[in-house]
Amino acid sequence: MSDLFSDSEIDTIQENDLSRIGVSLPASLLNSFDKILKTRGYSSRSEGIRDAIRSYIRYYKWMGELTGERQGVITIVYDHHQRGLIAAITDIQHDYMGLIQASLHSHVSHTRCVEVLLVRGGVHEVKEVAERLMAQKGVETVKLTTIPLEG
């Protein structure tokens, strides 16, 4: 993790260090983001995106700092119409049968599902299953929450 910014560096990145990038987003995602920016009082999309990236970096660092045995929950929201996604999610769950204690599946809408996995095991495996799920095309969000096991 040494190639990542420290927490204080993340907060103090200077405006003169700016790089311009282009990002393609679905209109619905951009509209939702714009509503949040307006509600929270951001002065620009750029500032909102910088804030979101800072948050993402902190979460990534937090995941990298976890150690030991963990009990946790992985929440997945995905588009069940995405070709091959359900099979991929099922295959990943089968690859981690010793880690996944239980799962709960719910249909949110005609196209979206939410799945909750109860996991228990070594932090490396817990993070690995979450990251494999995140990498699947059609997965909207993956949220990992863990607690250490007490002796």
Give me the CATH number covering residue 132: 3.30.70.1150
The rounded percent of the chain whose pLDDT value lies above 70 is: 88
- Which pTM was predicted? 0.68
Write down the number of H helices and E strands in the chain. Answer: 5, 4
Question: Sorting pLDDT into bands at 50, 70 and 90, what band is 65?
Answer: confident
Chain CA centroid to CA 87, Å = 20
Q: Which domain holds residue 22?
A: 7-64
99, 27: one domain: no
139, 96: one domain: yes
Q: Over the stretch 67-118, which tens digit does the pLDDT of each residue have?
A: 789 999 999 999 999 999 999 999 999 999 999 999 999 999 999 999 999 9
71, 135: one domain: yes
17, 84: one domain: no
Give me the CATH number covering residue 13: 1.10.1220.10
83, 12: one domain: no
How does DSSP assign 70-127, residue by residue? EEEEEEEEEETTSTTHHHHHHHHHHHTTTTEEEEEEEE-SSSEEEEEEEEEEEHHHHH
31 Cβ neighbours under 8 A, 6+ residues apart:
none
| pLDDT score at 99 | 97
Are 35 and 86 contacting, i.e. CB atoms less than 8 angstroms apart?
A: no
Establish if 1 belongs to a structural domain: no
The token pair at 54 is: 């800072």
> Which comes out higher in pLDDT, residue 37 or 10?
37
The conformational region for residue 33 under phi > 0 = left, psi -120 to 50 = alpha, else beta, is alpha
Helix (H, G, I), strand (E, B) or coil at 38: helix
Domain boundary among 18, 40, 64: 64
74, 136: one domain: yes
Are 103 and 68 contacting, i.e. CB atoms less than 8 angstroms apart?
A: no
Establish if 106 belongs to a structural domain: yes
